[in-house]
Amino acid sequence: MLLTKVQVVLIDDNDKVVGYKEKFATHKVPVPLHRAISIVIFNKDKSEILITQRAKIKPTWPLFWSNTVCSHPYDGESYQEAVDRRISEEVGFRTKLTEKFRFTYEATMDNGVWGEHEYDVVFTGTYDGEVKPNLDEIADYKWIKIEDLKNDLKENPKKYTPWFKIILEKLEI
């Protein structure tokens, strides 16, 4: 279930732990800086990306399209351990994931109540198989050609999460 007592790891600008806060409360403005992970999955020839539509029950950016998986590591869990755990939990498969880059961003939803302030560690991988989405996390998913995604981002930027737009720029696809 979405609104659990999961603790998010709060950090300083150097990724040093400064405390913990319940996940739901963490994302209310003002949002403290916290650890996050993002996964981008390509098909085998890297012509398509698996994107997911966030579940309607999510307080932050519900029903927006985003990268394959977005989540948070647990206390004491490495970023690699977190992505290996979350890919299976959210989309129902496993694949080799490689860290690509790290970045910090802040974003506030139009309602001014919910937001993000994350130190996001981005991983990529490839996969060509069955996707089994966790419906508590994902409302829909699709494989999309990179060129079609770029065009849609230009035409409909408001249907995508702010961090996904940054990730795509940094991946230079």
Catalytic residue ranges: 70, 118
Phi-psi category of 67—alpha, beta or left, where left has phi over 0 and alpha has psi -120 to 50? Answer: beta
Question: Strand, coil or helix: what is 140?
Answer: strand
Indicate the DSSP class of residue 51.
Answer: E
For residue 111, the one-letter residue type is: N
Torsion from C-alpha of 146, 149, 155, 158, nearest 10 degrees: -140
